[in-house]
Amino acid sequence: MKDLTTVQNYSYSTEKVFADAEDFFPINGTDYVELYVGNAKQAAHFYKTAFGFQSLAYAGLETGIKDRTSYVVVQDKIRLVLTTPLKPDGDIADHLRRHGDGVKVIALWVDDAVDAYNKTIERGAKSYQEPKEMFDEFGRVITAGIHTYGDTVHIFVERNNYSGTFLPGFIPWKSEYNPPSMGFRYIDHMVGNVELGHMNTWAKFYHDVMGFANLVTFDDKDISTQYTALMSKVMSNGNGRIKFPINEPAQGLKKSQIEEYLDFYQGAGCQHIAIATNDIIHSVREMRKHGVEFLHVPGEYYDTVGERVGIIEEDLALLKELGIMVDRDEEGYLLQIFTKPVEDRPTLFFEIIQRKGAKSFGKGNFKALFESIEAEQARRGTL
Ligand code: FE2
């Protein structure tokens, strides 16, 4: 496997880093993530205040949209679209009723949306939206969409001939409230939870339909505690900018966190969005200051972490104070932390990750992490 440094730096080389990925249509990165939420105005305020996003764009009644409101917030390469239906009927309201707040669209930035759509449909994808051209005074955008797990979809966005704020139909959202960035840079990976027995189906979908490669597989021996277990396959596109781990529950003595998610989300969906930062200590300190709640890491974790990961640049006492975990692989180490769910249902949460050479996903932290999640589940009565 070739060096992935270019990926972490998010430079747009076309270098192929995973030899067995097909990359029959290039993906330049995550274009945006759209969440359907109960109250987009308040959600936008939350992501600005607690996560350091900035106002970017808006669409709603004032722009001639009658059935929904969308706020777009941005932090470096990350764009979140927060959408709320204005009426009780329709797809957005149905989605919200069933799933609660959650990820609807994982949009992928491509050079040719029609080509991406045609090729994935040919290879067996189910159509969500036929190619659509949109214009305004800033140019042209073409989008097209396919279904993935659950009610989640991918939209291919071709925006090489567009210089507007976000997309045609959106106006710039000017706000006097602009909290400072928390140092987030780009989306490192996005994880899908799928039903028991469906992990391979969706791994195969990403392989066959999208041309992705299987980067790594974790079985229930890697990811299990005394009570619960899960299995995971990490799928990646050829240049490594898009990484989608797919989780399914495995047999355990008690209900796994994946089953809890599936129960509350009412099916498969996006479990977490992992955001890369260059300074996790700064990011987490600021997030905590602004009220973000993280999973508790037991103090004993830090008694042995030094032996496990060896020498690191950061002060362990500081990591312990902030609850940041560390793991090492052959290529370096990584620092990571997980928020509690960001809505009332125990469904979507965020990971903050800083990679220092490591390209893995924190396998050495799985046990401590899952025990922490189980403690939360026990408090919710869902273990
Ligand atoms: Fe993750």
Cα–ligand 1 centroid distance for 362 (angstroms):
8
Q: Do residue 159 and residue 36 come from a single domain?
A: yes
Cα–ligand 1 centroid distance for 363 (angstroms):
10
- Digit-coded pLDDT (tens) for 269-322: 999 999 999 999 999 999 999 999 999 988 888 988 888 899 999 999 999 999
Q: Do residue 229 and residue 372 come from a single domain?
A: yes
- Digit-coded pLDDT (tens) for 205-249: 999 999 999 998 988 777 777 777 889 999 999 999 999 999 999
DSSP E strand stretches across the chain = 27-36, 54-59, 68-75, 78-85, 102-110, 127-136, 139-147, 153-162, 171-172, 184-193, 213-218, 229-236, 243-250, 269-277, 325-329, 332-338, 349-356
Q: Record the tokens describing residue 72, joined without a space.
A: 């777009």
Residue 128 has pLDDT above 50, yes or no: yes
Q: Do residue 212 and residue 294 come from a single domain?
A: yes
Cα–ligand 1 centroid distance for 375 (angstroms):
19
What are the C-alpha distances in Å from 158 to residues 26, 119, 124, 191, 381? 11, 15, 21, 24, 45
Structural domain of residue 82, as residue ranges? Answer: 27-172
Number of domains in the chain: 2
Residue 12 has pLDDT above 50, yes or no: no
Cα–ligand 1 centroid distance for 12 (angstroms):
23
Q: What is the structure's pLDDT at 144?
A: 98
Cα–ligand 1 centroid distance for 352 (angstroms):
8
Q: Do residue 260 and residue 223 come from a single domain?
A: yes
Q: Record the tokens describing residue 344, joined without a space.
A: 């009332």
Residue 245 · residue 234 · CB < 8 Å: yes
Residue 351 · residue 337 · CB < 8 Å: yes
Q: For residue 220, give the 3-state DSSP assignment.
A: coil
Domain boundary among 121, 150, 172: 172
Contacts of 50 (CB under 8 A, 6+ apart): 287, 290, 291, 292
Q: Do residue 276 and residue 214 come from a single domain?
A: yes
Cα–ligand 1 centroid distance for 30 (angstroms):
16
Choice between 248 and 21, residue whose per-residue pLDDT is larger: 248
Lowest mean pLDDT among 16-25, 62-71, 119-128: 16-25
Model confidence band, residue 5 (pLDDT cutoffs 50, 70, 90)? very low
Q: Do residue 67 and residue 207 come from a single domain?
A: no
Q: Which CATH number goes with the domain that contains 226?
A: 3.10.180.10
* pTM beyond 0.85, yes or no: yes
Residue 85 has pLDDT above 60, yes or no: yes
Residue 363 · residue 350 · CB < 8 Å: no
Q: What is the structure's pLDDT at 19?
A: 58
Cα–ligand 1 centroid distance for 189 (angstroms):
7
Answer whether residue 17 is part of any domain: no
Cα–ligand 1 centroid distance for 27 (angstroms):
20
Residue 11 has pLDDT above 80, yes or no: no
Cα–ligand 1 centroid distance for 257 (angstroms):
14
Cα–ligand 1 centroid distance for 353 (angstroms):
8
Q: Do residue 154 and residue 239 come from a single domain?
A: no
Burial class (CB in 10 A: 0-12, 13-18, 19+), 355: buried
Q: Do residue 211 and residue 347 come from a single domain?
A: yes
Cα–ligand 1 centroid distance for 190 (angstroms):
7
Residue from 261, 25, 226 nearest 144 by CA = 25
Q: Do residue 139 and residue 241 come from a single domain?
A: no
Q: Do residue 69 and residue 157 come from a single domain?
A: yes
* Rounded Cα gap, residues 187 and 330, in angstroms: 23
Q: What is the structure's pLDDT at 220?
A: 77
Residue 294 · residue 338 · CB < 8 Å: yes
Q: Do residue 129 and residue 62 come from a single domain?
A: yes
Q: Do residue 167 and residue 188 come from a single domain?
A: no
